[in-house]
Amino acid sequence: MEKIVVDTYAVMAFFFNEKGADKVEEIIKESAKKGRVLMMSSVNCGELFYAVTKKAGAKTALKALDMLDSIPVHIQDTGRDLAVLAGSIKAENKMSYADCFAAALAMVHKAPVVTGDKEFKQLEKEIKVIWV
């Protein structure tokens, strides 16, 4: 089954109807039609919660989590192997630690990552990036 990793950037754009929201919506609809699995690491889920809380408050952050469930986005626990891979990505690249978890999840599942975060440009040789 084909999988796609969604980064916090893409989910935030979709949730707040910001630049890139239309592209994310298209990916969500197409994934539902084609039976693709949308995934996010638990670290990125936490990042989404704190980012939305800072921007719009905790009640809105809970709504963002409800939205993830309704899409649905499967939240993947990190575990030791994914954490070590994310750590190795962080050691070799100038990226936020949370972004390294999205990249590691994409690598493990040989899946593209949906984002608009420019930090992923440096990994385009290792993972496919769907830009929003």
How far from the centroid of its chain's Cα atoms is residue 110's Cα? 14
pLDDT at 1: 79
Residue 74, phi-psi category: left (phi > 0), alpha (psi -120 to 50), beta (remainder): beta
pLDDT bracket for residue 81 (50, 70, 90): very high
Q: What is the mean pLDDT of the chain?
A: 97
- DSSP designation for 73: E
For residues 75 and 40, is the Cβ–Cβ distance under 8 A? yes
pLDDT at 65: 97
Find the mean pLDDT for residues 105-123.
97
Q: What would the pLDDT profile of 42-66 be if each residue is shown by its tens digit?
A: 999 999 999 999 999 999 999 999 9
Find the mean pLDDT for residues 74-91.
97
Which among 118, 112, 40, 117 is positioned nearest to 82, based on CA atoms?
Answer: 40
pLDDT at 34: 95
Neighbours of 116 (CB within 10 A): 19
Superfamily classification of domain 3-122 = 5'-nuclease (3.40.50.1010)
Instruction: Inform me whether the pLDDT recorded for 127 exceeds 90.
Output: yes
Domain ranges of the chain: 3-122
Helix or strand or coil: residue 39? strand
Query: Which structure tokens are listed for 35?
Result: 């039976």
3-state helix, strand, coil in the chain (%, to 5): 65, 15, 25
Instruction: Inform me whether the pLDDT recorded for 6 exceeds 90.
Output: yes
pLDDT at 43: 98
